[in-house]
Structure 1
Amino acid sequence: MMLRHAVRTLLAGALVAFAVQASGPAAAEGTFDPPPGAQFSQPKLERIDAFFNGIIAEGKIPGAVVYIEQRGKPVYHKHFGVRDVATKAPMTDDTIFRLASLTKPFTAVAVMMLVDDGKLKLDDPVAKYIPAFADTKVGVEKKRDDGEKYLDFETLKRPIKISDLLLHTSGITYGFYGDNLVRKAIAAAKIYDGDPSNAEFAERIAKVPLQEQPGTLWDYGNSYEVLGRVIEVAAGKSFYEYQKEKLFDPLGMKDTRYYLPEDGQKARMAQPMPNDADFRVGRPSRPDIVKKWESGGGGLTSTPSDVIRFVRMLLHKGELDGKRYLSEAAFKAMTTDHIGPSSGIARDHFYFPGDGFGYGYGLAVRTDPGNAKPPPPGSLGELKWDGASGCYFVVDPKQEMFFVLMEQTPSQRQPVQRELKKLVYEALAN
């Protein structure tokens, strides 16, 4: 869900994990882009059981929920381990998980719904909704004659657009990792301190320097936090109220929210292993403490049941149970790579979509096999995202299939995701 590490080393490790996914032994021969109509082998799906039972027995994760659906029917639905090693309460479909950056696709859908309703335009300048962004500057690192580094400030060559926020091309970065002067300036601004509202948090972001000019680089950052405030201004209500009214309630997502005010909700929270409890997202991850700020980049909590409903809607191109949530045009825009070679947009060193993937709005989009030999498993057109807490989904339109993984494990999330994806595609009989 959301942010990565407070230091460069873990982010570098995350990049390595993507590379391992692309090139290591987890990528099985013959699993890339399987032919349409492939069917799941139930005996091969049972290998998923062995994998999760093994890592739980080793004490690496407390538990997990895995769900796979193809052509409208569940083909695999298992609960492993416990939601909390302290209480030993079992994993269930109503266990509540911190989504971290898996929040971002939900925010992107809310934006595209407002675009459909004519209340937002992708080319609108962000300053139209948050005037403070009219004065935002780009921080440029320079050196004095004595070699000392300092920040110079450039005016924007063009305004930040709503589409820039969706694509992480706004120039807005995170300040809790890296050692350049812009990131240090963001960290020094203490933007997460206190109890800001969405409006106040957006104002804080507008006052810190951008890492680069808008539209030039995919750079993971607080763009989706700013989108939460844009949605409030465009919709005329709070971010959560809009999502609840237009998306969560109609989809039947009764347990998706930013905070857990009730004791019963708190008791259903999944907890990571005690020695793996630091989500390393630059701020405390405590949905049990109710605050004003609703983080569009990483604040949602949800259950397997709710996330499955949302991902099923994505597989059906923005429609579910006879109700359309996104127009065909909006869904196509959301699931199209906008940062490919012809876009002129460079990719940051920490490019989290990974090898072989472009980026739409809130979703990685599989555009090619990638550079690894053999390529990692999957299909062209695949959609995916995950979060620092370990929650993860993959949508494969070609196979009319999706799978959802719900877990809380900052340190093990990528090895688990990588192995699960390998096992899923190995179970597709060619």
Structure 2
Amino acid sequence: MKNMSNFESYANKLVEENHIPGVGVGINKNGERLYEKGFGHRDVENELEITPDTIFGIASMTKSFTCVAIMQLQEAGKLFVHDKILKYLPEFRTADMEKTEQITIHHLMTHTAGIPPISTHVFARKRSIDQDPSAKDYLDLDLVNNAGRAIDTYDEMFDFIAELNYQPLADPGTSFSYSNDSYGLLGVIISRVSGQTYEDYVTEHILKPAKLDRTFFDLEKLASFENVTRLYAAKTTEEGVTVYPTEIWWDAPAMRAAGYLKSTINDILRYLEIFRNEGMVDGVRILSEESVAQILYPHFEYNNGIYYGYGLRITPDYYGETLIEHGGGLKGVSSLMFMLPEQGLTGVALSSLASVPSGRLLMGALNVLGGREADATHIHFETEPIDENVLGKFVGSYKSGEGMSVQIDVKDGQLRHFTGGSYNPLRHVGNNTFVGIEKNKQDTIGFISNEAGVVDRVFYGSRQILRDE
């Protein structure tokens, strides 16, 4: 194995610069451990180390588990991914039922149902947020000023969405916007088709046969395990960033299919064998080869050579190879898992603080293993000229129902994005798309116009976020 000292220097710098309390990394080659290391601590105050069995939240990495469940049910003949969702969710209502009637399970799995980033997920975890003082410090999201009732059940979720009366972003299958709501609906379909709760189905048909013994949904089980991370939050003041422990794990009973598993480095690396090994884990078949191929197929390109499969992101040309990955972010969670099938490599990074670059850290390890500098990137944008006089059409505030706000302005002929308490200058890379100038803030921001030619939304964080009128 290559000397990983360059990676560890890079990782230690990221940990320090981003105030990461603890992050664990594990990489396998052909199912065998190639590298593992914990940076920082799972419990800073008591200096407890991170091991491959330390339990973390994994957030949206859960989405691939949801897709595995869907594919198992298709194999069992209980559904077909191109079925219309109203076959299973007849009470689902929106403001545009003509478009809604066209939505299939496949559209939900690929985030192409046309559902904008609405506020369902905020209210699905409202009981957690309301009792958590640290919620006010969560990222750049406004999660604490949402009056209304909590969503605890599937029926309440349907009622809430119907009352929102949202307008679809586009015809199903034609436009991508990352959607926790879509995965919440997939959880309902899994429950109805299987006759079990979503959580029980995933536990019985994926976690237990794959022997993922430290992976679970139920928060009450946390107390029965040793070696569990503490969660942390960060607040920024004039004195700088303060990271502090916070005891409340968030839950969303009606939307667990979108991101509420807890797991470990060892378990996730074992789980990734399902995809590396064409559906098998230690001789136990979890999926057919055909289902794995369907999950890993690049169904929809949504950003500069990056596609969405089923619950996983696919980059067909990552330094000439295929990169399969997915991350997750939640209160006290920043995660990423990957597979490089041509090399038999799988990897995962799990951290205990939201909005920290666990993904960059893990990809730094992959870079070093590939003989590249730790901070190398396979995505390069050429700057393209743009008339300063047209920059004004992009200026404004864009807000999502999930609490995200994107603020764009112009200063000295330079478009800027306000994020993380400071302005990030942007450069034009063509087609009304901009990226951050700073190396560590290369967010892609694309502006989308309506039929009248007026910019009415921004594509940011994999979401189409509407202009705030």
Q: TM-score, normalised by structure 2?
A: 0.64
Is residue 201 of structure 1 aligned with residue 160 of structure 2?
A: no
Is residue 220 of structure 1 aligned with residue 178 of structure 2?
A: yes
Residues 137 and 155, structure 1, Cα contact 8 Å, conserved in 2: no
Distance 2:16 2:32 in 1: 30
Counterpart of 1:406 in structure 2 is 350
Matching residue's letter, 1:230: I
Counterpart of 1:328 in structure 2 is 289
* Alpha-carbon distance, 1:137 to partner: 2.8
Larger CA deviation: 244-253 vs 70-79: 70-79
Check 1:318–1:378 CA distance in 2 against 1; reply closer, same or farther (3 A cut): farther
* Alpha-carbon distance, 1:253 to partner: 1.2
**Deviations 1:17-44 (Å, cap 9, x if unpaired)?**
xxxxxxxxxxxxxxxxxxxxxxx42x1x
* Alpha-carbon distance, 1:262 to partner: 4.2
**From 248, 252, 256, the counterpart of 1:295:** 256
**Deviations 1:54-99 (Å, cap 9, x if unpaired)?**
4445562112211111123211122222013233322122322121
Counterpart of 2:370 in structure 1 is 425
Structure 2 residue matching 1:251: 3-state secondary structure: coil
Check 1:362–1:406 CA distance in 2 against 1; reply closer, same or farther (3 A cut): same
Counterpart of 2:95 in structure 1 is 137
Counterpart of 1:282 in structure 2 is none
> Where do residues 9-158 of structure 1 align in structure 2 (5 Å cutoff)?
40-41=1-2, 43=3, 45-57=4-16, 60-133=19-92, 135-138=93-96, 155-156=98-99, 158=101
Residues 25 and 348, structure 2, Cα contact 8 Å, conserved in 1: yes
Structure 1 residue matching 2:338: 3-state secondary structure: strand
Distance 2:148 2:247 in 1: 13
* Alpha-carbon distance, 1:242 to partner: 0.2
Gaps of 5+ in 2: 121-142, 237-245, 374-469
Greater strand share, structure number: 2
Matching residue's letter, 2:176: W
Residues 80 and 91, structure 1, Cα contact 8 Å, conserved in 2: yes
Residues 112 and 330, structure 1, Cα contact 8 Å, conserved in 2: yes
Matching residue's letter, 1:412: V
Counterpart of 2:275 in structure 1 is 314
Counterpart of 1:366 in structure 2 is 315
Residues 325 and 336, structure 2, Cα contact 8 Å, conserved in 1: yes
Distance 1:70 1:262 in 2: 31
Residues 261 and 289, structure 1, Cα contact 8 Å, conserved in 2: no
Structure 2 residue matching 1:217: 3-state secondary structure: coil
**From 221, 226, 241, the counterpart of 2:200:** 241
Residues 276 and 409, structure 1, Cα contact 8 Å, conserved in 2: no
Percentage of matched positions with identical amino acids? 27
Distance 2:352 2:184 in 1: 22
* Alpha-carbon distance, 1:157 to partner: 7.4
* Alpha-carbon distance, 1:52 to partner: 2.9
Distance 2:50 2:91 in 1: 45
**Deviations 1:113-144 (Å, cap 9, x if unpaired)?**
111111111111111111122x4234xxxxxx
Residues 337 and 349, structure 2, Cα contact 8 Å, conserved in 1: yes
Distance 1:223 1:325 in 2: 24
Check 1:317–1:192 CA distance in 2 against 1; reply closer, same or farther (3 A cut): farther
Distance 2:35 2:188 in 1: 38
> Where do residues 254-403 of structure 1 align in structure 2 (5 Å cutoff)?
254-262=213-221, 264-265=223-224, 268-275=227-234, 288=249, 292-340=253-301, 347=302, 354-368=303-317, 378-388=319-329, 389-403=333-347
Aligned residues: 335
Residues 383 and 395, structure 1, Cα contact 8 Å, conserved in 2: yes
Matching residue's letter, 2:276: L
Counterpart of 2:417 in structure 1 is none
Structure 1 residue matching 2:150: 3-state secondary structure: coil
Matching residue's letter, 2:306: F
RMSD of Structure 2 on Structure 1 (CA): 3.1
* Alpha-carbon distance, 1:111 to partner: 0.8
Distance 1:331 1:412 in 2: 30
Check 1:214–1:255 CA distance in 2 against 1; reply closer, same or farther (3 A cut): same
Check 1:192–1:220 CA distance in 2 against 1; reply closer, same or farther (3 A cut): farther
Matching residue's letter, 1:366: T
Distance 2:52 2:311 in 1: 25
Q: TM-score, normalised by structure 1?
A: 0.70
